[in-house]
Chain A
Amino acid sequence: MSEAETTASPTGRFRASSVGTSHAISIFAGIVFWGWLTTRWLNDWVLARLGIGPGAGENFVPREPFDAAAGSAIEAAERFSIGGLPFEWLNSLLETAGVAVLGWLGALLDTAGVAVGIAPALAGAAWYTILLTVISIALGFSIAVPLAVIRVYGGPLKWPALAYTELIRGTPLIAQLFVLYYGLPLAVWLQDTTLIGYGTIPEQAFWIAIIGFTINGSAYQAEYIRGALESVDEGQLTAARALGLSQIDGIRYVVLPQTLRYAIPAWTNELVYLLKYSSLAGFITVPELYNVASDIANSTFEFTAIFGLLAVVYLGLVLTATNIMSRVESYVAIPGIGAVEGRQQGDS
């Protein structure tokens, strides 16, 4: 992405101004998006309980004016007619155009009304999507690092690690989730666990989704990290060992710190995938974004409006994730390591 940015900018001045404008737009969009989400959460979980504000799940912006405006626009379109102009063809042309514009405006207002109506539900669902993604990627990472190290340095242990990776990568995630949810007695155990499903702690399906995404993500992340491990020069570990470090210390203090920097771009990719395939948790009843949106769409038949807004929410989450990761990448960047080398130096 940074590559495209650098190569697509012909001249310095053009680049500076376009980068400045797009930067300002993205900051503004970010503030609007996260402002909406955090206000929503604050209202639904805290303020509503204290009796402040419109109440949990209630709209901030009333939907009625949108619907009313949509109704009048459509009505106006139906009654729209133009007469009295000298030419008949001009009359009919202007009339057709007027009907089209009013109809389009009506549809737009209607869509906006639907979007306003489901926004509270999507904000709550977005919380589940974020939670699923963040917890699973972190747990998956903690499995993936040792797994990748075993794949590269583990001797004969690499075979079980390879088998795990191939089994997980070779089967569909949705099937893995179904096996965990319906096939194993896991759901029953979790249901019997005291804290699950009480108060603010999510139901067992959520935890099963976490387990599924952790296992699935660990296999993919392990492959990204393995690739990065293998790209670290062999001499690095040799030099560490020549100093008297054990192999595991050499890996820990010399190879992994470089590996993880190399792995950030690919790892970001996995994060973005996970944000979106967390929608599969909807199929085992977790009320995340896709699940909530499709439920509403199925009962209201407002597919375009609802999935349009859903796409915007996913896009906001994904752009936030990539933005954070590119900041992390430049924060931990070291001259000579990873993607930051050379290319981006003139960028800041």
Chain B
Amino acid sequence: MTDSQIDRSSRTDRGTDAEPSPLLRIEDLRKSYGDEEVLRGVDLEIERGDVEVLVGPSGSGKSTLLRCVNRLTEVDGGHIYLGDVDVCAPDTDPNEIRQQIGMVFQDINLFAHLTARENVMLGLRRVKGMDKEPALERAEEELDRVGLGDQVDSYPAQLSGGQKQRVGIARALAMDPELMLFDEPTSALDPELSNGVLDVMSKLVADGMTMLVVTHEMRFARGGATGITFLDKGEVVERGPPEQLFENPEKERTAEFFQSISHE
């Protein structure tokens, strides 16, 4: 429990006059798969340094929302702004956007033919165009940061699920993203393996990383989040600071949801 109680005093101030617009602004986002409306007009604003946790029953559109932010999924309507850039505009290069947004997947998706170090290096070499030596050093630094400095030469199949996910986080962090997206990073892991991953995420929170996190780990949500958004059937039902949503939710559905997961 203690490791998710984050000291937020060290975090960077936000909302100053120099940065008037939020880092991420989502307006009336809509997405359908065939006849099924997955997102029905979602609005969300995330300031720099915010840690927003998205919760909701399965099928509520959380993952789709994340994938829209870095255009892994094309939206049907609405706008997403990263700083001043309209993410969904036709002339916006999705590869540019994706370099500024790190993503961590539920099924981890480490490159199976590459070692941990090469996994982290790939983006540095092929996207940022770094030379081999500095990329190598940077990769080792990042792996060290997630506590895997001694596993740099391991292939994904030789790592535990938790170690793999930490490599996945290092891989995303190496690109110096402004925003990190976590799509249920611990859902595929055994509980005892999740802790290492949650520790790394908590460290990121303390370092002031802006994060949008889909998770069922309520300890993380309670300890690390600046805000919680409860999504159901493609709509934001309620949004607020963790204390409010956990203790005094305004909506009946929110209360029911938190009740149901607390019994798990």
Interface residues of A (CB under 8 A from B): 233, 235-236, 238-246, 249, 253-254, 257-258, 261, 334-337, 341
Contact = CB atoms under 8 A, between A and B. Distances in A.
B187 to A, nearest CB: 14
Interface string B47-87: 00000000000000000000000101000000000000000
Given A249-B126, A254-B122, A241 B72 contact: yes
A335 B105 contact: no
Contacts, number: 78
Q: Is the interface of A mostly helix, strand, loop or mixed?
A: helix
Contact-size category for B: 20 to 34
A245 B126 contact: yes
B92 interface: no
Given A254-B122, A341-B157, A242 B103 contact: yes
Q: Name which of A249, A334, A337 has the most chain B CB atoms within 10 A of its CB.
A: A334
Contacts of A246: 95
B112 A336 contact: yes
Q: Name which of B99, B110, B126, B127 has the most chain A CB atoms within 10 A of its CB.
A: B126
Interface in B100-136: 101-103, 105, 107-113, 122-123, 126-127
B171 interface: yes
Contact of A244 (B99, B105, B108, B109): B99
Given A253-B126, A334-B155, A335-B157, A243 B113 contact: no
A235 B109 contact: yes
Contacts of A238: 72, 105, 109
A336 B158 CA distance: 8
Q: Is the interface of B mostly helix, strand, loop or mixed?
A: mixed
B234 interface: no
Contact of B111 (A236, A241, A244): A236
A337 B111 CA distance: 10
Nearest to A257: B113
B246 to A, nearest CB: 31
Contact of A243 (B112, B122, B155): B122
A247 to B, nearest CB: 9
A16 B72 CA distance: 52
A243 B111 CA distance: 12
B40 interface: no
A244 B105 CA distance: 15
A240 B155 contact: no
A243 B124 CA distance: 9
| Ranked 7 nearest A-B pairs via Cβ | A336-B157, A239-B109, A235-B109, A244-B99, A243-B123, A335-B157, A242-B103
Contacts of A242: 70, 72, 98, 101-103, 105, 172
Contacts of B110: 239
A245 B95 contact: yes
A260 to B, nearest CB: 10
Interface in B156-215: 156-158, 168, 171-172, 175
A345 B149 CA distance: 26
B96 interface: yes
A191 to B, nearest CB: 47
B249 to A, nearest CB: 33
Contacts of A261: 113
A249 to B, nearest CB: 6
A242 B72 CA distance: 7
